[in-house]
Amino acid sequence: MNITKLLLATLASMVVMLGLGYLWHEVIMMDQYAEWSHAPEGWTTNIKYVAIGYLMLAGLMSYVYPYGYKGGSKIMEGFKFGAIMGMIWVLPHALIEVGSEYAPRMAVVYEAWHILEQGIGGMIIGLIYGKSTS
């Protein structure tokens, strides 16, 4: 395992996914999410925990990526990997949230977004690891 690539991929993908997530969730979809969820009035995002979560996600993705790399385009392999990771971590969570606080359409939008967001994060990881995964 190349520790330098692991750390670089973790930090770069975390920054990209966190930035994209902020733009999507806190700017573009904020009002729509408020309408669809049952979050208490005045609820706000605690960025410290969100950043720690993205760091953990990026670290896990960066750690697992070399084990699933099959060769080929760094960008496409990274995107496919990231999209699958988005499905693995968000789909069960989104369905659980439908049972407690989300409207079903929110789960669909949320899942679709994370497939794209983690796909882009995976592209960053793929570009950093390149074809050499040792």
Other CB atoms within 10 Å distance of the CB of residue 48: 8
Which pair of tokens denotes residue 32? Answer: 């729509």
**Range of lowest pLDDT (40-44, 53-57, 82-86):** 40-44
Over the chain, what is the mean pLDDT?
88
Most confident of 12-26, 64-78, 80-94: 12-26
Q: Which amino acid is at 131?
A: K
pLDDT of residue 133: 43
Q: How far is CA 28 from the centre of its chain?
A: 17
Return d(Cα 9, Cα 63) in angstroms, integer.
Answer: 9
Give the Cα-Cα-Cα angle 10, 13, 17 (nearest 5 degrees): 135
Mean pLDDT value across residues 25-50: 81
Q: What is the pTM of this model?
A: 0.87
Q: Which of 116, 124, 85 is nearest to 5 (CA)?
A: 124
Mean pLDDT value across residues 93-101: 78
Q: Which of 57, 60, 75, 64 is nearest to 21 (CA)?
A: 57
Q: Residue 127 — very low, low, confident or very high, per pLDDT cuts 50/70/90? A: very high
